[in-house]
Amino acid sequence: MLKPENKKSAGRYCLEYGDIFKNQNLSSRKRGSKITMSRIAKKPIILPPKTEAVFSSGIMTVKGPLGELSKKFRDDINVLIEGGSVTLTQGRKTLQAKALWGTYASHLKNMIAGVNKPYEKRLIIEGIGFKADVKGKELVLVVGFSHPVHVPIPEDIKVSTEKNTIIVLGIDCEKVGQFAAQVRAIKKPEPYLGKGIRYSDEVIRRKQGKKAA
């Protein structure tokens, strides 16, 4: 495709090739609109032993050996529970229904996994004098501030400490991740010495400090 040689031809260039770009976008949208099947939700979700699922009044409830989780589902998605499996289908042929189809399937799989095996997040504390301790229903952090930082622990989350490691456990994937992110945000790891709070599997890109002349 030729580009305009000067400013005067730029206007004709846009008019000439603008329709081509629009047609390409429309054709790609049409091709994409034919794909209505979600790769995540197209197969039934199997319930493990000792796990029950109930859908009533737009509320999906999953019970398992470790507890019970509930989440509200919109009426864009139909839920069918039979034969030890859960099948999700689109209730409406809309873009929102297509988006929620795979999303709700992922939520449901996380709920089923959580009531059978708790989710775990590990945080590493690095720094001289930095430490963490659980006192009652609070996580107390000493991470370089002039005072200790007290973080309330949610009721459905279990937190323990081992040396320089904070272990967060819970059956709700979202709450475990949110609490771990909240703790990490208190003292983010810095790139020079790596001091701060980071995830156990997180890699901190280090920077080289200034060299003395």
Which residues fall within 8 angstroms of residue 108, CB to CB, at 6 or more apart? 45, 53, 60, 62, 86, 88
List phi, psi (to 5°) of 78: -95, 140
Per-residue pLDDT tens listing for the chain (213 residues)? 445 455 555 444 444 444 433 444 444 444 444 444 557 778 889 999 999 999 998 899 999 999 999 999 988 888 999 888 999 988 888 888 888 888 999 999 999 999 999 999 999 999 999 999 999 999 999 999 999 999 999 999 999 999 899 999 999 999 999 999 999 999 999 888 889 999 999 888 878 777 665
Q: Identify the CA nearest to 62 among candidates 102, 114, 112.
A: 112
- Give the domains, in start order, of the chain with CATH numbers: 45-114 (3.90.930.12), 119-199 (3.90.930.12)
